[in-house]
């Protein structure tokens, strides 16, 4: 059962990544920033989700993939990048009868703005996004009464090199007090 769930998750992440690449005009994985510096457009990340809910709902690991695309190629003159991001985490949830593992897949369309740091290969960025929490089952601890519901996020990141970055994100749905997650991630751009 766990192998089929893991296979399904990997398949979904790959399908989302390939779909994003097909929708966006492929630019060799690299695009120029407003100041002309090359920027890599694929991001993979791994880290932890820290739930801010009541009860025995614990911190868990997460993995994710994201594809960025220059916003001005979609909306002329718009700064920054649009992106599609997909994460996966697995929580232990108590449904009133038993504790079980439940997969949560936050899927977002984001807008991000990158800023290069003068005379260095380092940069920082911030962004916001909207999308859905897609869950394998309902998650009572997050007040999820259906398997999908609207969600949003905001984040801040720092590129130590053109490839490696650290990121903190705040993810939430309704009600906010039960669905809040803080993500602390380390990522790689290519």
Written as six digits, the tokens of 134 are: 């897609």
Please give the tally of structural domains in the chain: 1
| H or E, element range at 116 | strand 99-116
User: The CATH number of the domain where 93 resides is what?
Assistant: 2.40.160.20
Q: Name which of 18-22, 97-101, 125-129, 172-176 the model is least confident about.
A: 18-22
Q: How confident is the model at residue 63 (pLDDT cuts 50, 70, 90)?
A: very high
> In b/e form, how buried is each residue of 7-31, taking b as 16+ CB within 10 angstroms?
eebeebbeebbeebbeebeeeeeeb
184: tokens are: 């602390």
Average pLDDT, the chain: 84
Q: Please, are residues 115 and 124 in contact by the beta-carbon 8 Å criterion?
A: yes
Neighbouring C-beta atoms of residue 64, cutoff 10 Å: 24
Of 84, 105, 86, nearest in space to 41 by CA: 84
The per-residue pLDDT for range 76-88, each reduced to its tens digit, is: 999 999 999 999 9
Tokens 């309704």, located at residue:
174
The reply to whether omega before 167 is within 30° of 0 (cis) is no
- Residue 152, preceding peptide bond in cis (omega within 30° of 0): no
pLDDT tens readout for residues 131-173: 999 999 888 888 888 899 999 999 999 999 999 999 999 999 9
Spatial separation of the C-alpha atoms in residues 137 and 145, rounded to whole Å: 9
Q: What pLDDT is attached to residue 32?
A: 55
What's the pLDDT score for residue 27? Answer: 44
Tell me the residue range of the domain where 169 lies.
2-189
Angle at 110 between CA 15 and CA 6, to 5 degrees: 30
C-alpha 154: how far from chain center = 10
Question: Is residue 85 within 8 Å of 129, Cβ to Cβ?
Answer: yes
| CA 138 – CA 134 distance, rounded (Å) | 9
């Amino acid at each position: 059962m766990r192998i089929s769930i893991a296979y399904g998750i990997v398949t979904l992440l790959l399908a989302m990544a390939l779909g994003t690449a097909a929708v966006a005009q492929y630019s060799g994985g690299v695009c120029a920033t407003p100041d002309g510096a090359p920027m890599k457009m694929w991001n993979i990340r791994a880290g932890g989700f820290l739930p801010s809910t009541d009860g025995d709902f614990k911190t868990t690991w997460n993995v994710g993939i994201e594809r960025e695309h220059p916003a001005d190629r979609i909306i002329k003159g718009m700064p920054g990048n649009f992106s599609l991001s997909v994460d996966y985490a697995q929580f232990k949830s108590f449904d009133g009868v038993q504790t079980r593992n439940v997969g949560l897949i936050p899927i977002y369309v984001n807008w991000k703005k990158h800023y290069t740091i003068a005379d260095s290969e380092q940069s920082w960025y911030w962004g916001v996004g909207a999308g859905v929490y897609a869950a394998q089952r309902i998650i009572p601890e997050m007040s999820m009464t259906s398997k999908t519901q609207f969600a949003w996020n905001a984040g801040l990141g720092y590129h130590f090199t053109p490839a490696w970055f650290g990121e903190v994100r705040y993810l939430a749905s309704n009600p906010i007090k039960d669905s809040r997650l803080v993500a602390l991630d380390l990522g790689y751009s290519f």
